[in-house]
Amino acid sequence: MTTSVEQLDEQARRGFGKLGRTTVHEGELLRHPVYTRFLHWTVAIFFFAALLSGLAIYSPWLFHWLTPLFGGGPMTRLLHPWFGLGFAIAYFFQFLNWLAIMRWTAADRRWLRHLPEYVKGDSKLEPEYVGFFNGGQKLQFWEIIFGAGVLLVTGLFMWFPEIFGRGLVAIGYVLHDISALVMLAGIWVHIYLSTVGQPGTLQAMTRGVVTRAWGWTHHPAWYREATGRNPREDYQRALERRRETEAQEREANAHERGPEIGPPPE
Amino acid sequence: MDTERTLQIKAISGHPGTVAGHGAKRELEVAKLIDVTTCIGCKACEVACVEWNDHPFRETVFDNTYQTMPTTQWNYYNLIKFNEHQEDNGNLMWLMRKDQCMHCADPGCLRACPADGAIVQYANGIVDFQQDNCIGCQYCISGCPFNIPRFNTTTKKVYKCTLCSDRVGAGLEPACIKACPTGCLHFGTKEEMKAMAETRAAQLRNDPLFPRPNAGVYDPQSIGGTHVMYVLHDITKPELYGGLPANPQIPVSYTLWKYFAKPIGLFMALMGLLAVFYHYIFNGPKLPQPEAPAQEEER
């Protein structure tokens, strides 16, 4: 089973690799190949279509704001399950694509203990054990697997009430809402961290590449794996190089301005 | 209701004696009363309903009973349910109950509905579906304790008995009432119908030849009463009459979750958005290290 799944995924990866390309420039690392990017954005499109159409039906306060986006109430109701189904199918392939890399490890347990510092932003560099995905990302991945399962099953209850009966609909829609709200909370964090919160991250999902500095800062163990180099040493070297450059510039500036002005304070 | 009394005459100048009509009360709530003990199962009400609502007579399924079809349908609002019941003393009872929307005072369909204006409840107690605003989600079906609303798969809208709101609005009785040949169906104000039902139930209980000590009025208070009431031979076993629930309930999720937890959920989602926004304001971005050298200030 696992091997056939891996084969399917590998075939898709190669096929999409032929359809598109990922250009890795000097000083950059390949983060996400074409297939992964395709899956991510397909999932994202279906997710937001389902989210907005779902929120329209979720609350009377949002009904008149959001139903016009989908062509009115009946059309919103008609489309929502299809968006949801699209999301579930797309995320299933994402699941296969990331299954191996999302395996929960001891490093992730360590990362969760480090979560408060991560939130406060105390450490400038992530701990050396953080691999391709950190514990938080993995947690979100598995939350969505579980949550999407709940959404799919309860969604089917509501889609075909004549088969499942009114009791399951009445319970199902509560679980459907809770699951969607939890996922929504996760999505705020996901979008924040991948854009303004951690600059340089978004390009991993658009162009598919990140800078080396991004790699040793946020995912040192992955950096070691991808480059065969020591992330901390490379960071130190970059730091020294920067200091040298700064010193040279300062010297050059000092010559221009004349000797009476001392070097600017650090 | 006070608004209905604004043009009622309160005092008249130079008028001897009391003001005519002073203190008169107007009952707004209407009700249908179904005395199952005098129903003969003729189905005239079914035909009248189909005729008034201009529905075609649909295909039916024969299920070895006298029922026209197993359940009500989107274009068949009104159905006599037939049940053969053997009493403890061995007597056979043929129970017939006219099944249709009960027009609950606290309608589960209305509570469950997420579409603005798809279900309305009039001050006279009639609960009516506005198909123009219906989005076809069918939550009302799940919210109804009597399993009444029916989905039309072609129009993707839900339908049910309107208590002939169009006729009642014009001062007429519902079509089924007009057609009933035995007088087992009654229509009037809720108060009148309640009084009539109690009188009839007492008559059944005290019948000198065939007393029905358990006879009573079905007006379930678990949903605030209904605007369709029954007089039953045995009020302790309403389930015998084609599954009439003894204690109809709206699923808790449609009250607790919808009116209490949902707004909180929405609020929490908004708080989540604010949380990440203020995280940025408080902590700023986490940049790849080492950060690019700051540009020397121009002096």
Determine phi and psi for B246, rounding to 5 degrees.
-70, -35
**Residue among B292, B285, B289 at smallest CA distance from A234:** B289
B211 touching A, CB under 8 A?
no
pLDDT digits (tens, 9 = 90+) for A73-88: 999 999 999 999 999 9
pLDDT at B42: 95
Phi-psi region of A136 (alpha: psi -120 to 50; beta: other; left: phi over 0): alpha
Rounded CA separation B287/A121 (Å): 11
The residue whose two tokens read 């991808």 is A226
Rounded CA separation B166/A123 (Å): 72
Other Cβ atoms closer than 10 A to B60? 12
pLDDT at A3: 78
Query: Which helix or strand (DSSP H or E) is residue B237 part of?
Result: none
Say which residues have a Cβ less than 8 Å from residue B110's Cβ, sequence separation at least 6.
Answer: B119, B120, B121, B127, B140, B143
pLDDT at B142: 92
User: Contact, A75 vs A66, CB < 8 A?
Assistant: no
A229 touching B, CB under 8 A?
no
Q: How far is CA B115 from the centre of its chain?
A: 17
pLDDT digits (tens, 9 = 90+) for A21-63: 899 999 899 999 999 999 999 999 999 999 999 999 999 899 9
Say which residues have a Cβ less than 8 Å from residue B196's Cβ, sequence separation at least 6.
Answer: B33, B186, B188
Closest approach of A11 to chain B, Cα-based (Å): 34
Provide ipTM, 2 decimals: 0.83
Strand partners, B118: none
Say which residues have a Cβ less than 8 Å from residue B198's Cβ, sequence separation at least 6.
Answer: B217
pLDDT at A207: 94
Radius of gyration of chain B (CA): 28
Rounded CA separation A59/B266 (Å): 8
A200 touching B, CB under 8 A?
yes
**Residue among A207, A205, A235, A208 at smallest CA distance from A220:** A235
Phi-psi region of B17 (alpha: psi -120 to 50; beta: other; left: phi over 0): left
Q: List all residues of chain A from 100 to 129 with a beta carbon under 8 Å from chain B.
A: 119-121, 124-125
Q: Which chain A residues are closer than 8 Å to B155 by Cβ?
A: none
Q: Do A249 and B137 touch (CB under 8 A)?
A: no
pLDDT digits (tens, 9 = 90+) for B212-240: 999 999 999 999 999 999 999 999 999 99
User: Please, what is the Cα angle at A139 between A102 and A40, to 5 degrees?
Assistant: 60
pLDDT at A130: 94
Mean pLDDT on A96-105 = 93
Q: Which chain A residues are closer than 8 Å to B144 by Cβ?
A: 166
The residue whose two tokens read 């109809």 is B248
Strand partners, B31: B188
DSSP B38: G
pLDDT by residue for chain B (299 residues), tens only, comes to 455 567 777 788 888 888 877 777 778 899 999 999 999 999 999 999 999 999 998 889 888 889 999 999 999 999 999 999 998 889 999 999 999 999 999 999 999 999 999 999 999 999 999 999 999 999 999 999 999 999 999 999 999 999 999 999 999 999 999 999 999 999 999 999 999 999 999 999 999 998 999 999 999 999 999 999 999 999 999 999 999 999 999 988 888 888 888 899 999 999 999 999 999 999 889 998 887 655 544 44
> Exposed e or buried b for every residue in B67-92, given b needs 16+ CB within 10 A?
bbbeebbbbbbbbbbbbeeeeeeeee
The residue whose two tokens read 């001050």 is B123
Strand partners, B96: B82
Mean pLDDT on A194-217 = 94
Rounded CA separation B115/B132 (Å): 10
Other Cβ atoms closer than 10 A to A43? 22
The residue whose two tokens read 């032929």 is A18
How far CA B191 is from CA of B33, B47, B105, B181, B187, in Å, comes to: 11, 28, 14, 24, 11
What SS3 state is found at B289? coil
Q: List all residues of chain A from 151 to 180 with a beta carbon under 8 Å from chain B.
A: 158, 161-162, 166-167, 169-171, 173-174, 177-178
Query: Is-above-0.90 flag for pTM?
Result: no
**Residue among A111, A79, A87 at smallest CA distance from A183:** A87
Say which residues have a Cβ less than 8 Å from residue A253's Cβ, sequence separation at least 6.
Answer: B296
Of A74, A170, A196, the CB nearest to B142: A170
What SS3 state is found at A214? helix
B286 touching A, CB under 8 A?
yes
Say which residues have a Cβ less than 8 Å from residue B139's Cβ, sequence separation at least 6.
Answer: A158, A169, A173, B112, B113, B114, B254
Higher per-residue confidence, A125 vs B19: A125
What SS3 state is found at B78? coil
Torsion of CA A63, A67, A69, A71, to 10 degrees: -170
Q: List all residues of chain B from 238 to 267 with a beta carbon under 8 Å from chain A.
A: 251, 253-254, 257, 261-263, 265-266
pLDDT at B244: 95
pLDDT at B221: 96
For chain A, domains (ranges, CATH) are: 2-230 (1.20.950.20)
